[in-house]
Amino acid sequence: MDLRKNKMAVLGVVGAAAIVGVGVYTSDAMKSSACGFSSEAERGRVRADSCKSCHEISSSTGELFAAGPNLLAVYGSTIGTRHLPGGRRNAALEAARDAGLTWTDANLEEYLKGPKAFLTRVTGKTFPPVNYMPYDIADPGPRRDVIAYLKFIRTRPDCT
Ligand code: HEC
């Protein structure tokens, strides 16, 4: 057995792992520590897995999901200006957009609690059921966590 060759092979593997570690977070734990999430945002990141069955949350420009828009930069943006998959339009979100509303903490909080109640309140109108996101988070704690996560990744797209 050529000992020197083996040692080089081991060094090679360690080196490759280090390079991978810099560019891509290879594990959840690595991502958490490298990104410096607050504990709220970290819980929100885990909770936001439930959003990913309908929403993309990434810097990808493709449309992986046919339901909702990409949520990567949703925090702080004007409501209803996100691109909906397939070029669909949403009259309720657009009415909120026309009222000049943005996704602040308070608006996200109210929307995630009850999309229909929120959009009815801010637009003063009702819309066909298809305009309302068929999802909500009943508990205030997890709602705040998800919002903290969305706020964080707006400036750290590498940390979704
Ligand atoms: C069952 C599918 C589904 C799930 C799960 C879901 N959403 Fe949605 N979401 C939608 C759809 C569809 C829309 C677009 C509005 C519409 O057509 O109802 C939407 C719209 C939104 C919008 C409005 C974006 C804009 O353009 O202004 C936000 C914000 C949002 N979702 C956040 C979330 C978050 C955060 C989660 C997870 C906690 C989540 N959604 C989970 C389907 C879903």
- Residue 97 beta carbon below 6 angstroms from any ligand 1 atom: no
Query: Are 68 and 116 within one domain?
Result: yes
- Cα–Cα distances (Å) from 72 to 19, 137, 143, 151, 155, in that order, read 26, 19, 17, 9, 9
Q: Domain containing 141 — which CATH number?
A: 1.10.760.10
138 and 91 co-located in one domain: yes
**Can you tell me the mean pLDDT for 142-150?**
98
How do residues 23-38 score in pLDDT, each as one tens digit? 566 677 777 778 999 9
Same domain, 20 and 78: no
The answer on 125 and 155 residing in a single domain is: yes
Which is higher by pLDDT, 58 or 145? 145
Report the residue among 43, 78, 135 best suited for mutation to probe ligand 1: largest number of ligand atoms under 8 A from its CB. 135
Ligand 1 atom with the shortest distance to the CA of 47: 38
Domain count of the fold of the chain: 2
Q: Let me know whether 12 and 45 are in one domain.
A: no
Q: Which residue do the tokens 């706020």 mark?
A: 151
User: Which whole number is the average pLDDT over 2-18?
Assistant: 45
Check residues 82 and 110 and name the one with the higher pLDDT.
110
Range of the domain at 111: 38-159
* pLDDT tens for each residue of 64-97: 666 888 899 999 999 998 877 777 789 999 999 9
